[in-house]
Structure 1
């Protein structure tokens, strides 16, 4: 019995819900009918007057400053550090000695290599003399000659190790960090210093496909930074990627000379302002005016008899929400910008011309 009652209640509820939906649909249809009656059966659309507008190619892009060179200096020798000649924050020049490694073992190895080389030179001279008199074979002479060449190479290697015991800066820059202390034992590959060259900075930004086609390597760019809002810096485009990244934007690098003031630092936030010459005015229409998207190259134009006529156009460059029309529209014509989904070619419309759509 309870199951029957529950079923009756559910059915009654469903019938009530269906009745409510039908009533609402009827009201909506009556409202639409009233609108159509007021407009004489015409479809209400939004439109804009076609006009020539100036094209502004200028744009700005944000990014972070990076050091021109950021080098982690690694040890090439084994040994214990006996002296450190620089501290963090010190400015260094290329070739400047930064630290000394105990040279005792490397000097001994070099001495052994020198003595071995001298002995082989004497042996080679004796073998060569004996070969001329038939005392040794050509194979024996070749063997001692090979040993001599290997000994010369060994001495070069040991001389290089002795020189590397004086750890030198490979670039100009600032010691950003120091990873060792006096007494630290080094192995090849041990990190010693991080040297940062701030004489030039790189500002890395991105540009979309419309913007990147107007850029060239060597173009001057105005740079601003939130840290120095009252100052402007000048940079030059040094790199433009040939391929877009995963966001379909093209990485661009700008070099800024920083040696004069050294105010900017790596990691700071910056904005690049790209300026271009004024372009000739051209016909621009809203992106939304296209039927089914810009690639369709079709728009509705309002005729003199308030009828919508489909028009084939040729779209050019896209500037945000505005699209350049290369061919197909003339100044003074009215293009429908909204409501095209309800239109067919020749349909009567009640156009509400929006003057703001005519402005970029």
Structure 2
């Protein structure tokens, strides 16, 4: 019995040895797998992401020494990067004060000839597009009825005049009262007034040119029946002609009668010289402009009424004008701005403008001689940004 128990005890004590050996093997296996995975990750990182290692090293050096690595970490404008811009240095220049506008050509005189009475046209002397003289007979409207009434009224006046003469004789002899004489005299005066009205109506049957000019086109012929208000033709005086245009209200105090203007015909691109002869005393409350009119002799019929023209109004010349490029002026709701460079930074300034052309704009207030005005990179800079001036 003792021998059997001892054998059993020996077997039980020896059995854990193989189990401990298997667990150690598994731990070693897991350790090897883990090291393999880590090695693979390190290989992938070194092969495919080398920049991160360089940044880590650079960052470490920068963080430790505070030297070369610091600016790259700062980045942007705050780190000292300056936006390159081009500037225009303001200087006094010679400038001819001119106002550019658009205008229209108007006839010196123009009228639409219309009939004032009804009737058929019995004679016609209208030559379309031809000049006529003042008072020249253009057409006649049938007025036989008016002429008959006129002769009848002349006979009545003769009768009333004889009656008035007899009544005056009787009144002098006190055979009739003053009232009876006044009635006879009133008949005479009324008949004379009616005769005058008939003569006025008769003159309406003869349409004449009210001034020297050129006739327009017409569609009527002899025999055409016209009624009051019917248009016959037009008559225009085109030597000289008027040029009508508008200027902004801010120039209204500078425009004077006699100022010269240059007129450019849009059709022929030819230039003509004219002079201002009248100004509208009122400013248009809607457009805030003032209407100006000039006159041109138009001796050779160069300009025709209704044509569109460009006008340059000359207001004088100055040698101390301050001008900047057109692209340097920024329009805003409250006015205009320019961006200046002061001590290496952008500083905006409010300005007032004057005469402008396609390339330059006059600045009347807000800048001085020597100011550096930014003309490029305007959309990228903000107030206070550091800028670098380039040529």
Write the distance in 2 (CA, Å) between the matches of 1:282 and 1:74: 55
- Which whole-Å deviations, capped at 9, do the CAs of 1:247-304 have from their partners, x for residues lacking one? 333332222212x2123322223222333443121445654499x8448xx9887555
- Which of 297, 305, 309 lines up with 1:266 in the alignment? 305
Write the distance in 2 (CA, Å) between the matches of 1:81 and 1:170: 19
Q: Which has the higher contact order (CA 8 A, sep 6+)?
A: 1
Provide the aligned length of Structure 1 versus Structure 2. 311
Once the two structures are overlaid, the 10-residue window that deviates more, 274-283 or 197-206, is 274-283
2:24 alignment counterpart: none
Once the two structures are overlaid, the 10-residue window that deviates more, 242-251 or 104-113, is 242-251
2:155 alignment counterpart: 115
- Which whole-Å deviations, capped at 9, do the CAs of 1:35-56 have from their partners, x for residues lacking one? 124327x899986544334334
1:335 CA displacement: 6.2
Unaligned runs of 5+ in 1: 1-30, 356-360
2:354 alignment counterpart: 318
| Matched ranges for 1:95-106 at <5 A | 95-106=135-146
1:333 CA displacement: 4.3
Query: Does the CA-based 8 Å contact 2:346-2:382 persist in structure 1?
Result: no
Write the distance in 2 (CA, Å) between the matches of 1:49 and 1:317: 17
Query: Does the CA-based 8 Å contact 1:124-1:141 persist in structure 2?
Result: yes
Query: Does the CA-based 8 Å contact 1:210-1:319 persist in structure 2?
Result: no
- Which whole-Å deviations, capped at 9, do the CAs of 1:119-158 have from their partners, x for residues lacking one? 1111111122222233322222222222222211111122
| Pairing 1:81–2:117 present | no
1:154 alignment counterpart: 194
- Matched residue SS, 1:228: coil
Return the TM-score normalized by structure 2.
Answer: 0.66
1:233 alignment counterpart: 272
Change in 2 beyond 3 A, CA 1:196/1:331: closer
- Matched residue SS, 2:216: strand
Change in 2 beyond 3 A, CA 1:79/1:303: closer
Query: Does the CA-based 8 Å contact 2:92-2:319 persist in structure 1?
Result: no
| Greater C-alpha radius of gyration | 2
1:98 CA displacement: 0.8
2:79 alignment counterpart: 38
1:166 CA displacement: 2.4
- Matched residue SS, 1:109: helix
1:79 CA displacement: 2.8
Change in 2 beyond 3 A, CA 1:113/1:70: same
| Matched ranges for 1:125-204 at <5 A | 125-204=165-244
| Matched ranges for 1:7-26 at <5 A | none
- Which of 251, 259, 266 lines up with 2:291 in the alignment? 251
Change in 2 beyond 3 A, CA 1:342/1:225: closer
Change in 2 beyond 3 A, CA 1:270/1:333: closer
